[in-house]
Amino acid sequence: MKPQKLTRLSGAATGGRPTHKARTAGAMTMRTGLWMAAALGLGGCININAPDEAIVIELNIDIRQEVIYRLAEDAADTIEENADIF
């Protein structure tokens, strides 16, 4: 997250005139640094904002209007036939 941390890491990777062995180690450090930079960069970019309102799952959403329309007439008859409970 902190940019100064990145700078310090890359500084360590490029600083001085290393020997062959030291250069390899330096290159590895640099590569690690790049990976970390990428990871940190990503970490800094992705923003997930929680919604302010509660998420409501509408359980009736799968009941389609055409089904309601198809059943409407029969349901009306049912109510009339069972007037004591409607």
Q: Which residues make up the interface to other proteins (CB under 8 A)?
A: 60, 63-65, 67-72, 74-76, 78-79, 81-86
Considering the complex, state which of residue 52 and residue 66 has its C-beta at the smaller distance from other proteins. Answer: 66
The 10 Å Cβ neighbour count of residue 75 is 11
* Cβ at position 82, least distance to other proteins in Å: 6
- Give, as one character, the DSSP assignment of residue 60: G
Six-digit token pair at 53? 């309102």
The 10 Å Cβ neighbour count of residue 33 is 20
* Cβ at position 54, least distance to other proteins in Å: 14
The 10 Å Cβ neighbour count of residue 34 is 15
Considering the complex, state which of residue 25 and residue 67 has its C-beta at the smaller distance from other proteins. Answer: 67
Residue type, 41: G
* Cβ at position 50, least distance to other proteins in Å: 24
